[in-house]
Amino acid sequence: MDDHAAARVPAKLRPLPFIIFSSRWLQAPLYVGLIVAQGVYVFLFLKELWHLVSEATTFSEQEIMLVLLGLIDVVMISNLLTMVIVGGYETFVGRLHLRNHPDEPEWLSHVNAGVLKVKLASAIIGISSISLLRTFIEASSLGTSDAHVTAEGVMWQTIIHSIFLISAVALAYIEKLGQSTNGHLQRPH
């Protein structure tokens, strides 16, 4: 047997390592559940889109903008779900064997747990930004009986969004440190 053929034969694991390594498949039903949840988001998107189209002639510009921001929010959450499903499965469960597939996501070729965390943090910031923008638009009704937000709610949402930003910057910095440390350790002296 040549070296290439030997490299393709999986190593036989002892029973305990085999059980531990195989336990990663317990995550597969979780990813299937997230696919079902994404289907619910598609339904929500279509329902909101129908609401926008059917009420387009009666909505004010602000109401249209709020519905549009809601649609964007649903799309961004769906993008987040896709990253978790595809990236998480590829990183933690098994290979999807998408190499050279014309629809392979560009980011998937260099995904690992650290990169996935930074991408997820960025997506969460995007979702939080849309939500905060909606809150700021709705804040124009503060003090009226039509208000859907309170001044305290706006303040807390802003603080939470700021914490998300700080956390994402910290995650990205830690990931960058890890990459430069790994790159430094792998260089021959």
The model's pTM is 0.69
Contact 105, 90 (CB under 8 A): no
Contact 78, 38 (CB under 8 A): yes
Q: What is the pLDDT of residues 60-112, one digit of tens each?
A: 888 898 889 889 988 988 988 988 888 888 888 888 777 777 877 776 666 67
Give the pair of three-digit tokens for residue 82. Answer: 């896709």
C-alpha angle with apex 181: 105 to 189, nearest 5 degrees? 115
Nearest to 107 by CA among 80, 77, 72, 74: 80
**Cα–Cα distance between 111 and 9 in angstroms, integer?**
25
Contact 136, 182 (CB under 8 A): no
List the pLDDT tens digit at each of the 189 positions of the chain.
Answer: 555 555 565 678 788 888 888 888 998 999 999 999 999 999 999 999 999 999 999 998 888 988 898 899 889 889 889 888 888 888 888 887 777 778 777 766 666 777 778 778 888 888 888 888 888 888 877 777 777 788 888 899 999 999 989 998 888 888 888 777 665 544 444
